[in-house]
Structure 1
Amino acid sequence: MIKAKSRPFLKHGKPERRPDLMNLTDSRIIGVYGAQWRGYLQYYLLAHNVWQLNRLQWVMLTSMLKTLAGKHRSTVSKMARTYQATTDTRHGPRVCFQTSVERAGRPPLVTRFGGIPLKRQKKAVLDDRPPAPMAGRRHSSELLARLHCGRCELCEQRADVHVHHISKLADLAASGQPQPQWTQLMVRKRRKTLIVCPTCHDHIHHQQPANTPT
Protein backbone atom coordinates (compact mmCIF):
# COMPACT_ATOMS: atom_id res chain seq x y z
CA MET A 1 0.00 0.00 0.00
CA ILE A 2 2.75 2.47 0.95
CA LYS A 3 4.56 1.84 -2.33
CA ALA A 4 1.36 2.38 -4.32
CA LYS A 5 0.49 5.62 -2.51
CA SER A 6 4.07 6.89 -2.88
CA ARG A 7 4.24 6.26 -6.62
CA PRO A 8 2.63 9.58 -7.77
CA PHE A 9 5.30 11.51 -5.85
CA LEU A 10 8.32 9.53 -7.12
CA LYS A 11 10.49 9.61 -10.21
CA HIS A 12 13.15 6.96 -10.70
CA GLY A 13 12.53 5.85 -7.12
CA LYS A 14 13.17 9.29 -5.57
CA PRO A 15 10.73 12.01 -4.40
CA GLU A 16 10.15 14.47 -7.23
CA ARG A 17 8.48 17.87 -7.60
CA ARG A 18 5.02 18.25 -9.15
CA PRO A 19 5.28 20.56 -12.21
CA ASP A 20 1.48 20.62 -12.50
CA LEU A 21 1.28 22.43 -9.14
CA MET A 22 4.13 24.92 -9.53
CA ASN A 23 1.91 27.73 -10.88
CA LEU A 24 -0.28 27.67 -7.77
CA THR A 25 0.28 29.85 -4.71
CA ASP A 26 2.42 28.47 -1.89
CA SER A 27 -0.69 28.20 0.25
CA ARG A 28 -2.45 26.11 -2.40
CA ILE A 29 0.55 23.82 -2.91
CA ILE A 30 0.85 23.08 0.81
CA GLY A 31 -2.93 22.72 1.04
CA VAL A 32 -3.08 20.14 -1.75
CA TYR A 33 -0.34 18.00 -0.23
CA GLY A 34 -1.76 18.44 3.27
CA ALA A 35 -5.27 17.40 2.27
CA GLN A 36 -4.02 14.26 0.52
CA TRP A 37 -1.81 13.30 3.46
CA ARG A 38 -4.64 13.75 5.97
CA GLY A 39 -6.87 11.61 3.79
CA TYR A 40 -4.37 8.75 3.74
CA LEU A 41 -3.54 8.99 7.44
CA GLN A 42 -7.09 9.27 8.76
CA TYR A 43 -8.16 6.25 6.71
CA TYR A 44 -5.47 4.03 8.24
CA LEU A 45 -5.60 5.29 11.85
CA LEU A 46 -7.29 2.03 12.90
CA ALA A 47 -4.26 -0.01 11.83
CA HIS A 48 -1.91 -1.19 14.57
CA ASN A 49 1.11 -0.37 12.39
CA VAL A 50 0.00 3.10 11.30
CA TRP A 51 3.47 4.35 12.27
CA GLN A 52 4.82 2.77 9.08
CA LEU A 53 3.19 5.61 7.13
CA ASN A 54 6.19 7.73 8.14
CA ARG A 55 7.82 6.58 4.89
CA LEU A 56 4.90 7.93 2.84
CA GLN A 57 4.95 11.14 4.87
CA TRP A 58 8.65 11.66 4.09
CA VAL A 59 8.09 11.03 0.37
CA MET A 60 5.18 13.49 0.19
CA LEU A 61 6.99 16.12 2.28
CA THR A 62 10.12 15.95 0.11
CA SER A 63 8.02 16.17 -3.05
CA MET A 64 6.18 19.21 -1.63
CA LEU A 65 9.40 21.00 -0.69
CA LYS A 66 10.91 20.26 -4.11
CA THR A 67 7.79 21.67 -5.75
CA LEU A 68 8.09 24.88 -3.70
CA ALA A 69 11.83 25.06 -4.37
CA GLY A 70 11.25 24.65 -8.10
CA LYS A 71 8.64 27.40 -8.08
CA HIS A 72 10.91 29.86 -6.25
CA ARG A 73 14.15 28.64 -7.85
CA SER A 74 15.46 27.95 -4.38
CA THR A 75 16.57 24.90 -2.39
CA VAL A 76 14.69 22.29 -0.39
CA SER A 77 16.47 23.29 2.83
CA LYS A 78 15.49 26.97 2.41
CA MET A 79 11.86 26.05 1.79
CA ALA A 80 11.90 23.80 4.87
CA ARG A 81 13.22 26.64 7.04
CA THR A 82 10.67 29.07 5.59
CA TYR A 83 7.57 26.97 6.25
CA GLN A 84 8.50 24.78 9.21
CA ALA A 85 6.35 25.34 12.29
CA THR A 86 5.15 23.55 15.42
CA THR A 87 1.58 22.61 16.25
CA ASP A 88 0.18 21.35 19.57
CA THR A 89 -1.53 17.95 19.66
CA ARG A 90 -2.83 15.75 22.48
CA HIS A 91 0.39 13.77 22.14
CA GLY A 92 2.54 16.87 22.50
CA PRO A 93 4.00 19.36 20.01
CA ARG A 94 4.63 18.11 16.49
CA VAL A 95 6.60 19.59 13.59
CA CYS A 96 4.55 20.66 10.57
CA PHE A 97 4.89 22.87 7.51
CA GLN A 98 2.38 25.64 7.06
CA THR A 99 1.61 29.00 5.54
CA SER A 100 -0.79 31.73 6.62
CA VAL A 101 -2.68 34.15 4.38
CA GLU A 102 -4.04 37.30 6.00
CA ARG A 103 -7.66 38.17 5.20
CA ALA A 104 -9.42 41.45 5.87
CA GLY A 105 -12.03 41.11 8.63
CA ARG A 106 -11.49 37.36 8.98
CA PRO A 107 -8.98 35.07 10.71
CA PRO A 108 -5.86 34.19 8.69
CA LEU A 109 -6.24 31.25 6.31
CA VAL A 110 -3.79 28.59 7.53
CA THR A 111 -2.85 25.61 5.36
CA ARG A 112 -0.74 22.85 6.88
CA PHE A 113 1.08 19.66 5.99
CA GLY A 114 1.90 17.19 8.76
CA GLY A 115 1.69 17.77 12.48
CA ILE A 116 -0.51 14.69 13.00
CA PRO A 117 0.88 12.01 15.37
CA LEU A 118 1.27 8.58 13.78
CA LYS A 119 -0.62 6.96 16.66
CA ARG A 120 -3.27 4.28 16.36
CA GLN A 121 -6.78 5.46 17.19
CA LYS A 122 -9.05 2.52 17.97
CA LYS A 123 -12.17 4.71 17.87
CA ALA A 124 -11.33 6.54 14.67
CA VAL A 125 -14.33 7.26 12.44
CA LEU A 126 -13.67 6.67 8.74
CA ASP A 127 -15.10 9.07 6.19
CA ASP A 128 -15.08 7.41 2.78
CA ARG A 129 -15.69 10.53 0.70
CA PRO A 130 -13.65 10.53 -2.53
CA PRO A 131 -10.40 12.52 -2.09
CA ALA A 132 -10.05 15.82 -3.92
CA PRO A 133 -8.00 15.52 -7.12
CA MET A 134 -4.38 16.65 -6.83
CA ALA A 135 -4.01 18.16 -10.28
CA GLY A 136 -3.96 21.95 -10.14
CA ARG A 137 -3.51 23.02 -13.77
CA ARG A 138 -7.07 24.17 -14.37
CA HIS A 139 -6.55 27.79 -15.35
CA SER A 140 -9.81 29.10 -13.90
CA SER A 141 -9.20 27.57 -10.46
CA GLU A 142 -5.62 28.83 -10.38
CA LEU A 143 -6.59 32.35 -11.42
CA LEU A 144 -9.41 32.51 -8.85
CA ALA A 145 -7.05 31.35 -6.11
CA ARG A 146 -4.58 34.08 -7.02
CA LEU A 147 -7.35 36.69 -7.05
CA HIS A 148 -8.71 35.58 -3.67
CA CYS A 149 -5.28 36.15 -2.12
CA GLY A 150 -5.74 39.87 -2.76
CA ARG A 151 -1.99 40.44 -3.13
CA CYS A 152 -0.26 42.26 -5.98
CA GLU A 153 2.18 39.86 -7.63
CA LEU A 154 4.42 42.75 -8.66
CA CYS A 155 4.80 44.90 -5.52
CA GLU A 156 3.36 42.24 -3.11
CA GLN A 157 1.07 44.79 -1.44
CA ARG A 158 -2.51 43.92 -0.47
CA ALA A 159 -5.12 45.86 -2.41
CA ASP A 160 -8.18 45.59 -4.67
CA VAL A 161 -6.35 43.70 -7.40
CA HIS A 162 -6.88 43.56 -11.15
CA VAL A 163 -5.88 41.04 -13.82
CA HIS A 164 -3.43 42.18 -16.48
CA HIS A 165 -3.57 39.85 -19.50
CA ILE A 166 -1.63 39.51 -22.74
CA SER A 167 -2.40 37.31 -25.74
CA LYS A 168 1.03 35.71 -26.17
CA LEU A 169 4.19 35.59 -24.09
CA ALA A 170 6.17 35.73 -27.33
CA ASP A 171 4.84 39.27 -27.90
CA LEU A 172 6.83 40.51 -24.92
CA ALA A 173 10.15 39.36 -26.32
CA ALA A 174 9.17 40.43 -29.85
CA SER A 175 8.81 44.06 -28.79
CA GLY A 176 12.60 44.54 -29.11
CA GLN A 177 12.68 46.83 -26.07
CA PRO A 178 14.33 46.32 -22.66
CA GLN A 179 12.00 44.30 -20.52
CA PRO A 180 10.66 46.00 -17.35
CA GLN A 181 10.07 44.07 -14.14
CA TRP A 182 6.49 43.03 -14.95
CA THR A 183 7.42 41.45 -18.30
CA GLN A 184 10.36 39.62 -16.73
CA LEU A 185 8.01 38.24 -14.06
CA MET A 186 5.47 37.00 -16.61
CA VAL A 187 8.16 35.36 -18.75
CA ARG A 188 9.81 33.73 -15.73
CA LYS A 189 6.51 32.32 -14.44
CA ARG A 190 5.31 31.49 -17.98
CA ARG A 191 2.03 33.26 -17.34
CA LYS A 192 -0.09 35.37 -19.64
CA THR A 193 -1.86 36.90 -16.62
CA LEU A 194 -0.58 38.99 -13.75
CA ILE A 195 -2.51 39.96 -10.60
CA VAL A 196 -1.68 43.60 -9.84
CA CYS A 197 -2.84 46.50 -7.68
CA PRO A 198 -4.27 49.67 -9.33
CA THR A 199 -0.94 51.51 -9.03
CA CYS A 200 1.04 48.75 -10.73
CA HIS A 201 -1.72 48.33 -13.30
CA ASP A 202 -1.40 51.99 -14.34
CA HIS A 203 2.39 51.67 -14.34
CA ILE A 204 2.21 48.64 -16.67
CA HIS A 205 -0.23 50.46 -18.96
CA HIS A 206 2.26 53.32 -19.46
CA GLN A 207 5.19 50.94 -20.03
CA GLN A 208 3.42 48.51 -22.36
CA PRO A 209 4.40 48.83 -26.02
CA ALA A 210 1.59 50.00 -28.25
CA ASN A 211 1.93 46.93 -30.53
CA THR A 212 1.48 44.43 -27.69
CA PRO A 213 -2.06 42.98 -27.81
CA THR A 214 -3.92 42.53 -24.51
Structure 2
Amino acid sequence: MKLELSEPKTLITHGRTQAARFLGYEIVVLHDDAKRDRNGHRSINGQIGLKVPMDVVRGKCKPYMRRGKPAALLERVHDSDSRIVTRFQAEFRGIAEYYQLAYNRHRLGLLRWITERSLTKTLGHKNKISVNKVWNRYRATWQTPAGPRRGLQVKVDRDKGKKPLVARWGGVSLARRTTRVTLKDELPAVWRKRPAELIDRLMSGRCELCKAQTEVEVHHIRRLSDLRPGSQAEQPDWAKQMASRRRKTLIVCPDCHSGIHSGLSVRQDSMESTLESRVRL
Protein backbone atom coordinates (compact mmCIF):
# COMPACT_ATOMS: atom_id res chain seq x y z
CA MET A 1 0.00 0.00 0.00
CA LYS A 2 1.32 3.40 -1.01
CA LEU A 3 0.75 6.28 1.35
CA GLU A 4 0.14 9.63 -0.34
CA LEU A 5 0.47 12.85 1.61
CA SER A 6 -1.21 16.13 0.79
CA GLU A 7 1.50 18.61 -0.15
CA PRO A 8 -0.35 21.73 1.08
CA LYS A 9 -0.95 20.11 4.48
CA THR A 10 2.51 18.59 4.97
CA LEU A 11 4.59 21.36 3.38
CA ILE A 12 7.51 22.52 5.51
CA THR A 13 7.94 26.27 5.15
CA HIS A 14 10.76 28.57 6.21
CA GLY A 15 8.95 31.13 8.32
CA ARG A 16 11.22 34.10 7.62
CA THR A 17 11.24 33.76 3.84
CA GLN A 18 7.82 32.26 3.16
CA ALA A 19 4.38 32.24 4.73
CA ALA A 20 2.60 29.09 5.89
CA ARG A 21 -1.17 28.90 5.36
CA PHE A 22 -3.47 27.77 8.14
CA LEU A 23 -7.21 28.38 8.52
CA GLY A 24 -7.14 31.23 6.03
CA TYR A 25 -4.25 33.03 7.74
CA GLU A 26 -0.65 33.49 6.60
CA ILE A 27 1.76 32.60 9.41
CA VAL A 28 5.19 34.24 9.28
CA VAL A 29 8.14 34.81 11.58
CA LEU A 30 8.68 38.53 12.02
CA HIS A 31 12.13 39.99 11.43
CA ASP A 32 12.94 43.70 11.30
CA ASP A 33 16.09 45.11 12.87
CA ALA A 34 14.71 48.64 12.56
CA LYS A 35 11.85 47.93 14.97
CA ARG A 36 13.20 48.73 18.44
CA ASP A 37 11.68 49.46 21.82
CA ARG A 38 12.36 52.46 24.04
CA ASN A 39 15.54 50.81 25.34
CA GLY A 40 16.92 50.36 21.83
CA HIS A 41 16.42 46.57 21.75
CA ARG A 42 15.06 44.77 18.70
CA SER A 43 11.46 44.12 19.68
CA ILE A 44 9.80 41.90 17.07
CA ASN A 45 12.49 39.56 15.77
CA GLY A 46 11.50 35.92 16.10
CA GLN A 47 7.86 36.60 16.98
CA ILE A 48 5.02 34.89 15.14
CA GLY A 49 2.79 37.10 13.02
CA LEU A 50 -0.58 36.45 11.40
CA LYS A 51 -1.46 38.08 8.09
CA VAL A 52 -4.48 38.45 5.84
CA PRO A 53 -3.62 36.81 2.50
CA MET A 54 -4.14 39.15 -0.43
CA ASP A 55 -5.67 36.41 -2.56
CA VAL A 56 -8.33 35.97 0.13
CA VAL A 57 -9.15 39.69 -0.04
CA ARG A 58 -9.46 39.53 -3.84
CA GLY A 59 -11.64 36.43 -3.60
CA LYS A 60 -13.99 38.12 -1.12
CA CYS A 61 -14.26 41.14 -3.44
CA LYS A 62 -15.36 39.16 -6.50
CA PRO A 63 -19.05 38.65 -5.51
CA TYR A 64 -19.49 42.44 -5.38
CA MET A 65 -17.83 43.16 -8.73
CA ARG A 66 -18.79 42.96 -12.40
CA ARG A 67 -16.23 43.46 -15.16
CA GLY A 68 -13.59 44.51 -12.67
CA LYS A 69 -15.69 47.22 -10.97
CA PRO A 70 -18.08 47.33 -7.99
CA ALA A 71 -21.62 46.69 -9.17
CA ALA A 72 -25.14 46.44 -7.82
CA LEU A 73 -26.33 43.00 -6.73
CA LEU A 74 -29.56 42.68 -8.66
CA GLU A 75 -30.65 39.59 -6.74
CA ARG A 76 -31.01 41.75 -3.61
CA VAL A 77 -33.00 44.69 -4.99
CA HIS A 78 -36.26 42.98 -4.04
CA ASP A 79 -35.35 43.18 -0.34
CA SER A 80 -36.13 46.20 1.81
CA ASP A 81 -33.50 48.92 2.26
CA SER A 82 -33.04 47.84 5.88
CA ARG A 83 -32.50 44.22 4.88
CA ILE A 84 -29.99 45.20 2.18
CA VAL A 85 -27.90 47.31 4.57
CA THR A 86 -28.03 44.67 7.30
CA ARG A 87 -26.87 41.92 4.95
CA PHE A 88 -23.93 43.88 3.53
CA GLN A 89 -22.86 44.94 7.02
CA ALA A 90 -23.07 41.39 8.40
CA GLU A 91 -21.00 39.97 5.54
CA PHE A 92 -18.19 42.51 5.92
CA ARG A 93 -18.22 42.41 9.72
CA GLY A 94 -17.92 38.62 9.68
CA ILE A 95 -14.75 38.75 7.57
CA ALA A 96 -13.27 41.66 9.56
CA GLU A 97 -13.88 39.91 12.88
CA TYR A 98 -12.39 36.65 11.64
CA TYR A 99 -9.12 38.38 10.75
CA GLN A 100 -8.94 40.51 13.89
CA LEU A 101 -5.73 38.73 14.93
CA ALA A 102 -3.89 39.77 11.75
CA TYR A 103 -1.40 42.62 12.05
CA ASN A 104 -2.05 43.72 8.44
CA ARG A 105 -5.81 43.96 8.90
CA HIS A 106 -5.76 47.22 6.96
CA ARG A 107 -5.72 45.13 3.77
CA LEU A 108 -9.44 44.66 4.26
CA GLY A 109 -9.88 48.35 3.44
CA LEU A 110 -10.09 47.36 -0.23
CA LEU A 111 -12.89 44.94 0.55
CA ARG A 112 -14.69 47.60 2.60
CA TRP A 113 -14.54 50.13 -0.24
CA ILE A 114 -15.78 47.67 -2.86
CA THR A 115 -18.54 46.39 -0.57
CA GLU A 116 -19.62 49.95 0.19
CA ARG A 117 -19.76 50.88 -3.49
CA SER A 118 -21.75 47.75 -4.25
CA LEU A 119 -24.14 48.56 -1.39
CA THR A 120 -24.79 52.12 -2.55
CA LYS A 121 -25.28 50.99 -6.14
CA THR A 122 -27.72 48.32 -5.01
CA LEU A 123 -29.74 50.86 -3.02
CA GLY A 124 -29.60 53.29 -5.92
CA HIS A 125 -30.81 50.68 -8.40
CA LYS A 126 -33.68 49.72 -6.08
CA ASN A 127 -34.84 53.31 -5.43
CA LYS A 128 -34.00 54.64 -8.95
CA ILE A 129 -31.60 57.26 -7.60
CA SER A 130 -27.89 58.00 -7.96
CA VAL A 131 -25.18 56.97 -5.52
CA ASN A 132 -24.81 60.58 -4.31
CA LYS A 133 -28.53 60.73 -3.50
CA VAL A 134 -28.22 57.45 -1.58
CA TRP A 135 -25.61 59.09 0.65
CA ASN A 136 -27.70 62.23 1.02
CA ARG A 137 -30.70 60.16 2.09
CA TYR A 138 -29.05 57.69 4.49
CA ARG A 139 -25.87 59.41 5.71
CA ALA A 140 -25.66 59.36 9.51
CA THR A 141 -23.26 59.67 12.46
CA TRP A 142 -23.61 57.63 15.66
CA GLN A 143 -21.69 57.21 18.88
CA THR A 144 -19.67 54.07 19.68
CA PRO A 145 -17.34 53.15 22.59
CA ALA A 146 -14.44 54.00 20.25
CA GLY A 147 -15.91 57.39 19.33
CA PRO A 148 -18.27 58.75 16.65
CA ARG A 149 -18.64 56.74 13.44
CA ARG A 150 -20.11 57.77 10.10
CA GLY A 151 -21.85 55.63 7.51
CA LEU A 152 -25.28 54.72 6.19
CA GLN A 153 -28.27 54.26 8.45
CA VAL A 154 -31.79 53.05 7.66
CA LYS A 155 -34.58 53.33 10.25
CA VAL A 156 -37.84 51.39 10.13
CA ASP A 157 -40.59 52.80 12.35
CA ARG A 158 -42.86 50.37 14.19
CA ASP A 159 -46.28 50.70 15.76
CA LYS A 160 -47.43 50.34 19.38
CA GLY A 161 -44.59 52.38 20.85
CA LYS A 162 -41.86 49.95 19.80
CA LYS A 163 -38.38 51.25 19.11
CA PRO A 164 -37.55 51.62 15.41
CA LEU A 165 -35.37 49.03 13.75
CA VAL A 166 -31.98 50.49 12.82
CA ALA A 167 -29.71 49.06 10.12
CA ARG A 168 -26.24 50.56 9.75
CA TRP A 169 -23.33 50.29 7.38
CA GLY A 170 -19.94 51.29 8.72
CA GLY A 171 -18.30 51.59 12.11
CA VAL A 172 -16.20 48.41 11.75
CA SER A 173 -12.67 49.36 12.71
CA LEU A 174 -9.76 47.70 10.92
CA ALA A 175 -7.22 48.64 13.57
CA ARG A 176 -5.10 45.83 14.90
CA ARG A 177 -6.46 44.24 18.07
CA THR A 178 -3.93 44.24 20.90
CA THR A 179 -6.09 42.56 23.53
CA ARG A 180 -4.28 39.77 25.34
CA VAL A 181 -6.24 36.62 26.16
CA THR A 182 -5.44 34.34 29.11
CA LEU A 183 -5.91 30.67 28.31
CA LYS A 184 -7.15 28.35 31.04
CA ASP A 185 -6.25 24.73 30.41
CA GLU A 186 -8.96 23.27 32.60
CA LEU A 187 -10.80 20.09 31.83
CA PRO A 188 -14.43 20.75 30.96
CA ALA A 189 -17.06 19.56 33.38
CA VAL A 190 -18.64 16.61 31.59
CA TRP A 191 -21.42 16.08 34.13
CA ARG A 192 -23.45 18.87 35.60
CA LYS A 193 -23.61 19.23 39.37
CA ARG A 194 -27.34 18.64 39.34
CA PRO A 195 -28.36 15.53 37.37
CA ALA A 196 -30.80 15.91 34.54
CA GLU A 197 -34.45 15.26 35.29
CA LEU A 198 -34.55 12.30 32.91
CA ILE A 199 -31.68 10.64 34.79
CA ASP A 200 -33.51 11.08 38.09
CA ARG A 201 -36.64 9.49 36.63
CA LEU A 202 -34.64 6.55 35.30
CA MET A 203 -32.76 6.05 38.55
CA SER A 204 -36.03 5.93 40.50
CA GLY A 205 -36.93 2.63 38.74
CA ARG A 206 -40.65 3.36 38.86
CA CYS A 207 -43.06 2.98 35.96
CA GLU A 208 -44.95 6.23 35.42
CA LEU A 209 -48.01 4.32 34.16
CA CYS A 210 -48.56 1.36 36.46
CA LYS A 211 -46.41 2.74 39.32
CA ALA A 212 -44.53 -0.59 39.54
CA GLN A 213 -41.06 -0.60 41.05
CA THR A 214 -39.11 -2.63 38.49
CA GLU A 215 -36.77 -2.33 35.54
CA VAL A 216 -37.81 0.61 33.39
CA GLU A 217 -37.43 1.77 29.81
CA VAL A 218 -37.96 5.09 27.99
CA HIS A 219 -40.78 5.61 25.53
CA HIS A 220 -39.93 8.55 23.28
CA ILE A 221 -41.80 10.55 20.64
CA ARG A 222 -40.42 13.04 18.14
CA ARG A 223 -42.89 15.89 18.58
CA LEU A 224 -45.51 16.82 21.15
CA SER A 225 -47.87 17.49 18.26
CA ASP A 226 -47.88 13.73 17.61
CA LEU A 227 -49.91 13.33 20.81
CA ARG A 228 -52.95 15.10 19.37
CA PRO A 229 -55.92 12.74 19.12
CA GLY A 230 -57.26 11.77 15.72
CA SER A 231 -60.71 12.53 14.40
CA GLN A 232 -62.18 9.20 15.58
CA ALA A 233 -59.84 7.40 18.01
CA GLU A 234 -59.68 8.53 21.62
CA GLN A 235 -56.32 9.53 23.01
CA PRO A 236 -54.78 6.66 25.06
CA ASP A 237 -53.87 7.08 28.71
CA TRP A 238 -50.12 7.20 28.14
CA ALA A 239 -50.54 9.94 25.50
CA LYS A 240 -52.79 11.97 27.83
CA GLN A 241 -50.16 11.76 30.55
CA MET A 242 -47.35 12.87 28.23
CA ALA A 243 -49.46 15.70 26.82
CA SER A 244 -50.45 16.96 30.29
CA ARG A 245 -46.82 17.00 31.40
CA ARG A 246 -45.61 18.34 28.03
CA ARG A 247 -42.87 15.72 27.90
CA LYS A 248 -41.61 13.75 24.96
CA THR A 249 -40.41 10.92 27.21
CA LEU A 250 -42.23 8.50 29.48
CA ILE A 251 -40.54 6.09 31.91
CA VAL A 252 -42.38 2.75 31.69
CA CYS A 253 -41.85 -0.90 32.53
CA PRO A 254 -41.36 -3.45 29.70
CA ASP A 255 -45.03 -4.60 29.89
CA CYS A 256 -46.40 -1.08 29.58
CA HIS A 257 -43.90 -0.30 26.84
CA SER A 258 -44.99 -3.29 24.77
CA GLY A 259 -48.64 -2.35 25.38
CA ILE A 260 -48.01 1.16 24.05
CA HIS A 261 -46.43 -0.10 20.83
CA SER A 262 -49.03 -2.82 20.35
CA GLY A 263 -51.86 -0.34 20.66
CA LEU A 264 -53.39 -1.93 23.77
CA SER A 265 -55.01 0.24 26.41
CA VAL A 266 -52.68 0.67 29.36
CA ARG A 267 -54.64 1.35 32.52
CA GLN A 268 -53.52 1.56 36.10
CA ASP A 269 -56.18 -0.79 37.49
CA SER A 270 -55.27 -3.60 35.11
CA MET A 271 -51.61 -3.14 35.96
CA GLU A 272 -52.36 -3.33 39.68
CA SER A 273 -54.22 -6.60 39.16
CA THR A 274 -51.27 -7.93 37.19
CA LEU A 275 -48.93 -7.00 40.00
CA GLU A 276 -51.16 -8.73 42.56
CA SER A 277 -51.13 -11.92 40.50
CA ARG A 278 -47.35 -11.76 40.29
CA VAL A 279 -47.08 -11.37 44.07
CA ARG A 280 -49.30 -14.44 44.64
CA LEU A 281 -47.12 -16.50 42.37
- Range moving further from structure 2, 5-14 or 97-106: 97-106
User: Is the CA contact (8 Å cut-off) linking 1:16 and 1:66 kept in structure 2?
Assistant: yes
State yes or no: 1:113 paired with 2:183. no
**CA deviation digits over 1:3-57, x for unaligned, max 9?**
0100000011100000000011111111110111111111111111112211111
Residue 31, structure 1, aligned to residue 62, structure 2: no
Distance across 1 between alignment mates of 2:79 and 2:180 = 33
Could you tell me the TM-score, scaled by structure 1's length?
Answer: 0.55
- How many residues align? The count is 125
State how 1:44-193 maps to structure 2 within 5 Å: 44-104=99-159, 105-123=161-179
Moved over 6 A (4+): none
Residue matched to 2:198? none
Q: Do the aligned partners of 1:19 and 1:67 also contact (CA within 8 Å) in 2?
A: yes
Equivalent residues of 1:87, 1:95 under 8 A apart: yes
Q: Distance in 2 between matches of 1:13 and 1:122?
A: 35
Compare CA radii of gyration and give the structure with the larger one.
2
* Unaligned runs of at least 5 residues, structure 2: 1-55, 182-281
Q: Whole-Å Cα distance in 2 between the matches of residues 45 and 98 of structure 1?
A: 24
For residues 16 and 124 of structure 1, do their structure 2 counterparts lie closer, same or farther at Cα, with a shift above 3 Å needed? farther
Over the matched positions of the two proteins, sequence identity in percent amounts to 38
Cα deviation code 1:90-126 (max 9, x no counterpart)? 332221211011112321111111112221123389x
Cα RMSD for the two superposed structures: 1.6
Greater helix percent: which structure? 1
Q: Which has the higher contact order (CA 8 A, sep 6+)?
A: 1
**SS of residue paired to 1:106:** coil
Question: Could you tell me how far 1:84 is from its partner in structure 2?
Answer: 1.3
Deviates more, 1:88-97 or 1:34-43: 88-97
Q: Does 1:7 align with 2:62?
A: yes
Point out the more displaced range, 96-105 or 22-31. 96-105
2:168 and 2:180 map into 1 onto residues whose CA distance is 21
